[in-house]
Amino acid sequence: MNQAIPSTSTNAPGLFRRLGAMLYDTLLVTGLLLMAIVPVVVLLGSIEGWDQIDTGSLRRNPFYIAYLLSVPLLFFVGFWKLTGQTLGMRTWRIRLMGDQGNAVSWRAAIVRYFAAMLSWAPLGLGFLWILIDPEKLAWHDRLSHTRLILVAKEE
């Protein structure tokens, strides 16, 4: 099992490592979203006929939108709570933990997910914040009382 390096600002992952993990996870979530669309299209095609599928009304359907929005939410919150790492974070040797070194709670994982959107909203300023923060914490780290740490290489 990967050993977590004690949490200090000198071993917090840098911006490049975080962005690498985010890119990896974005590709995975994109694939999951495509897989989530397939059963809906197949079901509608079998009910209405393939030439009768109205994608315009589907895109305005609040249940469909909520269904698709739940995919990344469940991916990130589930991985953060259950293992402390998404697949991208595992690849880039990053682990999420509470700011006291404890495991992340469901509440903290959900707050982190929505706070990360706030970090992206002003052109990613909340992520760039780690470049000037003394503890290398992004806005969503502070808001959710979590932090990212580097994980030692397996030997």
Q: Quick check: pTM over 0.85? A: yes
Amino acid letter, 154: E
Helix (H, G, I), strand (E, B) or coil at 40: helix
Percent of the chain past pLDDT 90, that is, above it, reads 75
- Condensed to tens digits (0 to 9), the pLDDT of residues 37-63 reads 999 888 877 666 667 777 777 888 899
Write the CB contacts of 39 (distance below 8 Å, at least 6 apart in sequence): none
- Angle between helix 15-48 and helix 62-82 axes, rounded to 10 deg: 140
| DSSP string computed for 53-83 | --HHHHHH-HHHHHHHHHHHHHHHHHHHHHT
Give the residue from 89, 92, 91 showing the smallest Cα distance to 146.
89
How far, in Å, CA of 101 to CA of 136, rounded? Answer: 16
Domain ranges of the chain: 9-150
